[in-house]
Amino acid sequence: MVQSKSTLSDIAKLAKVSIKTASRVVRKEPRVSPKTRAAVEEAIKTLNYRPSVAPRAAVGSRSYVIALIFDNPNSSYIVELLQGALEQARKDSYHLIVEPVDLTSSTITEDINNLLVQSNLDGMVLPPPLCDEPLILQALESAGKPFARISPSISKEVGLRVEINDFQAAQDMTNKLIELGHTSIAYVTGRQGTATTRRRLEGFLSAMANAGLSVPENFILQGNFEYRRALDAGEAILNQANRPTAIFASNDEMAAGLIAAAHKSGLSVPNDLSIAGFDDSMVATIVWPQLTTVRQPIKEMAASAVEMLIEQCRNQINDGDDEASDTIRQLPIDIIMRGSTASK
């Protein structure tokens, strides 16, 4: 008997079939030849494979279960994301499984494949940065499972897509600060290496360049979408002789960290320093002064992703059509002016 825990990938490899085919046998789906089914069942027996959750769907039916996976340090973003996804799933009579995923894990492909089979998923929702991870996208495509991506950057033709225009949103907020008379503006970036972080930074730099304003290298601060990182970065720049008159943070949690840094440095917000955020999450109205921010419809984006995904799941079952009638949605943003910004 094999003592180590076997995975769906191990079964597929031993039976010399695709993961998608192995999954069909495990789920007792009908579209498998007797020879192939026998090979997979033999591999299952040899490796002592046992899914932790038994497949629940009857032959030819769907499970009415989808998953939302995440790897994001921004708790406010995740809370709103889950609210939107849960409400829409309930409305469409689906169950939603929520699973944290470690993007740096060496077993991420196996983790996704096991989740698909063990929970008998009909599909999956991928928020950033998971929406741009090639290994996850490949695993879902190999398994033949539909998926909806929130704010993706790579492979835009792959899967369903819900997004905002991050570049334009950051550009619009920067222009608002410039209109208030600020010419010395710093910027706090999000998680390094993500498309969202890159697009928002590009929007900020574009607005500054269009206005003929320079951005010193030390005015681009690293925040990783985290309160603590932004607080530390804010303290460092605000204690310099040449400090900015305004700071734009690419999420609200970091903007809240900047407000704390300003208070610790003896500066008044917004009299001495204007601060703007991004998301219009719960944090934006909890801090004082309340945040000027970009309102990103996080709940609506999650709800749209779930709605589109469920539509495609139903299409696959009803007529074998993998295509959803609505594959791309771009939702609008708003600039919300509150007490954390003022004229220079």
Distance CA(337)–CA(344), nearest Å, equals 15
Residue found by looking up tokens 């950051």 in the block? 170
Distance CA(244)–CA(241), nearest Å, equals 10
Task: Give the per-residue pLDDT at 58.
Answer: 44
- Extract the tokens encoding 7: 């995975």
Q: Is residue 40 one of the residues assigned to a domain? A: yes
Other CB atoms within 10 Å distance of the CB of residue 13: 14
Q: What is the mean pLDDT of the chain?
A: 88
Contact residues for 127 (Cβ-Cβ < 8 A; gap 6+): 68, 70, 72, 81, 150, 151, 302
Instruction: Say if residue 324's pLDDT is above 60.
Output: no
Residue finishing a domain among 255, 275, 296: 296
Residue finishing a domain among 50, 68, 91: 50
* CATH number of 182's domain: 3.40.50.2300
Q: Is residue 100 one of the residues assigned to a domain? A: no
Distance CA(103)–CA(57), nearest Å, equals 29
Q: Is residue 13 one of the residues assigned to a domain? A: yes
Q: How confident is the model at residue 26 (pLDDT cuts 50, 70, 90)?
A: confident
Identify the domain containing residue 287 by its residue range: 166-296
Q: How confident is the model at residue 1 (pLDDT cuts 50, 70, 90)?
A: very low
Q: How confident is the model at residue 113 (pLDDT cuts 50, 70, 90)?
A: confident
Amino acid at 46: T
Q: Is residue 187 one of the residues assigned to a domain? A: yes
Q: Is residue 137 one of the residues assigned to a domain? A: no
Q: Of residues 168 and 316, which shows the higher confidence score?
A: 168
> Which residues lie across from 185 on neighbouring strands?
246
Q: Is residue 107 one of the residues assigned to a domain? A: no
Q: How confident is the model at residue 55 (pLDDT cuts 50, 70, 90)?
A: very low
Task: Give the per-residue pLDDT at 2.
Answer: 37
* CATH number of 24's domain: 1.10.260.40
Beta strand 147-150 with 123-126 is parallel
Q: Is residue 183 one of the residues assigned to a domain? A: yes
- Extract the tokens encoding 190: 């999000």
Average confidence (pLDDT) over 95-102: 91
pTM: 0.74
Q: How many domains does the chain have?
A: 2
Q: Is residue 109 one of the residues assigned to a domain? A: no
